[in-house]
A and B are shown apart, each in its own frame.
Chain A
Amino acid sequence: MPADTNTTRSTGLHVGEIRPGVPKVDPIIVADNITRSFGGLKAVDVEHLEIPRNAITALIGPNGAGKTTLFNLLTGFDKPDTGSWSFDGKALAGVPAFKTSRMGQVRTFQLTKALAMLTVLENMKLGAKGQAGENFWVSLLPWLWRKQDDEIEQKALKLLERFKLDAKQDDFAAELSGGQRKLLEMARALMSDPTLVMLDEPMAGVNPALTQSLLDHILGLKAEGMTVLFVEHDMHMVRHISDWVIVMAEGRVVAEGPPDVVMKNPAVIDAYLGSHLDSDIGVVTGRVGVVKEKKK
């Protein structure tokens, strides 16, 4: 399958013995002592976590493990009770969401947030950074932003073509299917030339026919030098494309490591994988016909 042909798995990402919170050779995100409680429930309690640069890291765990909450905390959409974290060496504590995005850390959402009553192309153009015409006064003088807007449009059209959405450019995003909206959201995030792309369940609700192209796109991001961090329940996808897997349960990081190693970890099997580990998850989810794993 193309997923294995166009990129190779990154190895040797960590330093020392593999355990939760193991230091990485070249971390892009370093988080320390992050806690967040909702009432009496400690949703996230992470002592130390490093995300490796230019690799695809999967964040897995059962429902309610705190994956999305951790995402929200790292991107500034929520504020932790304690803790500090940095992105690319810059401290992020207290930085609002829109600024973390400007630094190059762009996220998508579990429930897709396509801007329904904007066209696909407008959705895309909104993603570009540093637009002069987004200033109130400059926007009144079209000749000051027209040229930049045209360049942004060219870039958007190229990306749409890559994501096979170019035929839909003038449609409202509301008219797209769920899977196409996922693609649009990912493409829109790429308009800002991010260094870290954070995808919250990119496969949720996507039909199996689109799964393959989404996988390819995610692998393509890594090939272009970006770092990907994604939350996913589809073990098959995790096993296929991720270079590193972080397992959360009850707000804590219970295990991490390369996918093959993590999937054999008894703590992970207890917490998450359960009895289906031995059978191919693809059989369980019914996707085996679409994404065929190479037997080793």
Chain B
Amino acid sequence: MDWGAIFSNTVVWIISPETIAYALATVGLAVHFGYAGLLNFGQAGFMALGAYGYAISILSFGFPWWAGILVGMAASVVFALILGIPTLRLRADYLAIATIAAAEVVRLLFQTTVFDAFTNSADGLGGYHEGFRAANPIPKGVYGFGPFTYNETDWWVRIFGILLLAVVILLTWLLMRSPWGRVVKGIREDEDAVRALGKNVFSYKMQALILGGVFGSLGGVVFALPSAVVPGAYVPSLTFFLWTVLLLGGAATIFGPVVGSVLFWIIMSFLANVLPRMADAGWLPFMTNAQASIARYILVGIALMLIVVFRPQGILGNKKELTFNAR
């Protein structure tokens, strides 16, 4: 067993673009579920809109890269409105059903050949990097130490992602300590009570849905920054990974999504490295190498179940603040 390689293959995930993207999208989920009590099972759809909004507006319409990000955000606002207007008046569980379906509709619209000229259907989009990389202030070269050694482009993606994440977390923190956050948390507890106190509950739920959706689309943008946009990435299991990250870190916490995302990716890559090697070394006699690398998904699923049963408030959460049966 090459523990050195396993270690360095694992720690690089602390600041990988995927980790940052998951953290961003999960802050959005935290706004939805942790603070406003909205059950959104379609965060992958918001991420897809961010990624495709970014890529299509650059490739098909020649927008600058930053305008591409704005287009992605605007697309998620429109999606939140379409999703929210009919469903936010219903009970929370209906929103959950509608979001999972709507996110699939979004993904299939990007995958279908009907809009091939814009979306390149199932093959996805690539080669939209020029503008973003031209804006890179870091001079050409290789920087870093040990496993964290990257060229200027890789660093630029990571630094930009972390800056975006910092802004999003700051915004969430400012909002949730304000009277706005108080109303939103009140709605999570009992929307009729908040309505009786003269607050426009529908409007607040819509604002929260839009805000979390925009964060999700920024996650999609960061997801797309280093490589390509492929529709197969935005499947429901992406949403469920985000939920794992959220519950791991703590649903109603500011930094929970970051902690959760880092842990999630470290565990995933550690298992991806360790399990096949263990199979090769003959430690898992009942598994082949290929089976072992898939087994991590089973373990992550079991981990999600254990978290929900034994620590529903997550790592950073306050036991009193959020437990599932306390509504």
Chain A residues engaging chain B, CB cutoff 8 angstroms? 75, 77, 96-99, 101-102, 106-109, 113-118, 122-123, 125-127, 129, 131-136, 138-140, 142, 145, 149, 172, 174-175, 185, 188-189, 191-192
Partner of B198, one of A117, A174, A192: A192
Alpha-carbon distance between A138 and B190 when the two chains are bound, in angstroms: 24
Partner of B196, one of A107, A123, A135, A139: A107
Alpha-carbon distance between A193 and B186 when the two chains are bound, in angstroms: 20
Decide: A126 and B182 in contact? CB cutoff 8 A: yes
Alpha-carbon distance between A107 and B198 when the two chains are bound, in angstroms: 10
What are 8 sample pairs from A and B whose C-beta atoms fall under 8 A apart?
A: A101-B195, A115-B194, A117-B189, A118-B186, A122-B186, A134-B182, A138-B180, A140-B178
Decide: B320 and A174 in contact? CB cutoff 8 A: yes
Provided the pairs A139-B175, A139-B180, A140-B178 are in contact, do residues A117 and B185 lie with their beta carbons within 8 angstroms? yes
Decide: B194 and A126 in contact? CB cutoff 8 A: yes
Partner of B197, one of A99, A126, A175: A126
**What residues on A are CB-neighbors of B28 within 8 Å?**
none
Decide: A127 and B180 in contact? CB cutoff 8 A: no
**Residue from B171, B186, B201 with most neighbouring chain A CB atoms (10 Å):** B186
Alpha-carbon distance between A113 and B327 when the two chains are bound, in angstroms: 10
Per CB-CB distance, the 4 closest pairs between chain A and chain B, nearest first, are A133-B179, A139-B178, A139-B180, A113-B193
**Residue from B181, B183, B190 with most neighbouring chain A CB atoms (10 Å):** B190
**What residues on A are CB-neighbors of B175 within 8 Å?**
136, 139-140
In the complex, the chain A residue whose C-beta lies closest to that of B252 is A117
**Residue from A115, A125, A131, A188 with most neighbouring chain B CB atoms (10 Å):** A115
In the complex, the chain B residue whose C-beta lies closest to that of A108 is B196
Decide: B180 and A117 in contact? CB cutoff 8 A: no
Q: B200 in the interface, Cβ–Cβ < 8 Å? A: yes
In the complex, the chain A residue whose C-beta lies closest to that of B178 is A139
**What residues on A are CB-neighbors of B171 within 8 Å?**
140
**What residues on A are CB-neighbors of B189 within 8 Å?**
115-118
Decide: A101 and B197 in contact? CB cutoff 8 A: yes
**What residues on A are CB-neighbors of B121 within 8 Å?**
none
Chain B residues engaging chain A, CB cutoff 8 angstroms? 171, 174-175, 178-183, 185-186, 188-190, 192-201, 207, 320-322, 326-327
Supply 14 further A-B pairs (C-beta < 8 A) apart from A96-B200, A122-B186: A101-B198, A115-B189, A117-B189, A134-B179, A134-B183, A139-B175, A140-B174, A140-B178, A142-B174, A142-B178, A174-B320, A175-B320, A188-B197, A191-B197
**What residues on A are CB-neighbors of B320 within 8 Å?**
117, 172, 174-175
**What residues on A are CB-neighbors of B326 within 8 Å?**
116-117, 174
Decide: B199 and A134 in contact? CB cutoff 8 A: yes
**What residues on B are CB-neighbors of A75 within 8 Å?**
196
Partner of A113, one of B185, B192, B199, B322: B192
**What residues on A are CB-neighbors of B199 within 8 Å?**
98, 126, 134
Decide: B196 and A125 in contact? CB cutoff 8 A: no
**Residue from B195, B200, B201, B327 with most neighbouring chain A CB atoms (10 Å):** B195
Q: How far in angstroms is the closest Cβ of chain A from B262?
A: 26
Decide: A115 and B190 in contact? CB cutoff 8 A: yes
Decide: B196 and A109 in contact? CB cutoff 8 A: yes
In the complex, the chain A residue whose C-beta lies closest to that of B191 is A113
**What residues on A are CB-neighbors of B193 within 8 Å?**
109, 113-115, 185
**What residues on B are CB-neighbors of A175 within 8 Å?**
320
Alpha-carbon distance between A267 and B171 when the two chains are bound, in angstroms: 62
**What residues on B are CB-neighbors of A126 within 8 Å?**
182-183, 186, 194, 197, 199
**What residues on B are CB-neighbors of A99 within 8 Å?**
198
**What residues on A are CB-neighbors of B179 within 8 Å?**
125, 131-134, 139, 145, 149
Decide: B321 and A117 in contact? CB cutoff 8 A: yes
Provided the pairs A115-B189, A140-B171 are in contact, do residues A134 and B180 lie with their beta carbons within 8 angstroms? yes
**What residues on A are CB-neighbors of B201 within 8 Å?**
98
Decide: B321 and A98 in contact? CB cutoff 8 A: no
Decide: B190 and A113 in contact? CB cutoff 8 A: yes
Decide: B178 and A97 in contact? CB cutoff 8 A: no
Q: How far in angstroms is the closest Cβ of chain B from A289?
A: 34
Provided the pairs A115-B186, A117-B189, A140-B171 are in contact, do residues A101 and B196 lie with their beta carbons within 8 angstroms? yes
**What residues on B are CB-neighbors of A134 within 8 Å?**
179-180, 182-183, 199
Partner of A125, one of B182, B188, B195: B182
Alpha-carbon distance between A96 and B201 when the two chains are bound, in angstroms: 11
Partner of B185, one of A102, A118, A133, A189: A118
Alpha-carbon distance between A138 and B180 when the two chains are bound, in angstroms: 9
In the complex, the chain B residue whose C-beta lies closest to that of A123 is B186
Q: How far in angstroms is the closest Cβ of chain A from B252?
A: 8
**What residues on B are CB-neighbors of A145 within 8 Å?**
178-179
Alpha-carbon distance between A139 and B190 when the two chains are bound, in angstroms: 22
**Residue from A96, A106, A116 with most neighbouring chain B CB atoms (10 Å):** A116
Alpha-carbon distance between A114 and B186 when the two chains are bound, in angstroms: 9
Q: How far in angstroms is the closest Cβ of chain A from B191?
A: 9
Q: How far in angstroms is the closest Cβ of chain A from B250?
A: 13
Q: How far in angstroms is the closest Cβ of chain B from A81?
A: 20
In the complex, the chain B residue whose C-beta lies closest to that of A194 is B198
Decide: B178 and A98 in contact? CB cutoff 8 A: no
In the complex, the chain B residue whose C-beta lies closest to that of A133 is B179
**What residues on A are CB-neighbors of B180 within 8 Å?**
133-136, 138-139
**What residues on A are CB-neighbors of B200 within 8 Å?**
96, 98
**Residue from B174, B183, B188, B198 with most neighbouring chain A CB atoms (10 Å):** B198
Q: How far in angstroms is the closest Cβ of chain A from B155?
A: 30
**What residues on B are CB-neighbors of A127 within 8 Å?**
197
